Amino acid sequence: MSRRNTSPTRFIFHELDESLAAQLRKATSESAPKFYSARSTSECLALAERLHADVVFCGSEPAEYRALLDALRRRGLHLPVVVVSRLPEVSEWLDALDAGAVDYCAAPFEHQHMQWLIETARLAQSAPM
């Protein structure tokens, strides 16, 4: 199922502290994006299904993002998950990708990088599995 390009991008922030979420909002200055916060895996899944979200930005705690990625797979939801951290760590980046995240990013967030990351995540979502 493909949405029109005119619809706003829908982002879910899962287990993401408010300062990182604020930085992501600022760096992601698309045309009228929609941001939603989820504090649990079940809340994130419900939002993802109800809103047809485009991307989930998840905190860098391995137990949290692994639980989310496993739950998405069990539900058959092909939603790109980007793990977000305060500091870039190669081992965390590799762990996140190995778990099934489409990308990993660390603060500070730059507008151009975020645009590239979002477009890459959308392509990953639409790619046949």
**Average per-residue pLDDT for the chain:** 86
> What share of the chain in percent tops pLDDT 70?
86
Please report, for the domain that includes residue 62, its CATH number.
3.40.50.2300
For the entire predicted model, the pTM comes to: 0.86
| pLDDT tens digits, one per residue of 43-93 | 999 999 999 898 999 999 999 999 999 999 999 988 999 999 988 888 999
The verdict on residue 3 lying in a domain is no
The verdict on residue 2 lying in a domain is no
| pLDDT tens digits, one per residue of 6-26 | 567 889 999 998 999 988 888
The per-residue pLDDT for 57 is 95
Domain count, the chain: 1
**With contact defined as beta carbons under 8 Å apart, do 17 and 59 qualify?**
yes
CA separation, residue 2 to residues 5, 9, 12, 68, 122 (Å):
9, 13, 19, 23, 11
The per-residue pLDDT for 127 is 64
Residue 40 structural domain: 10-126
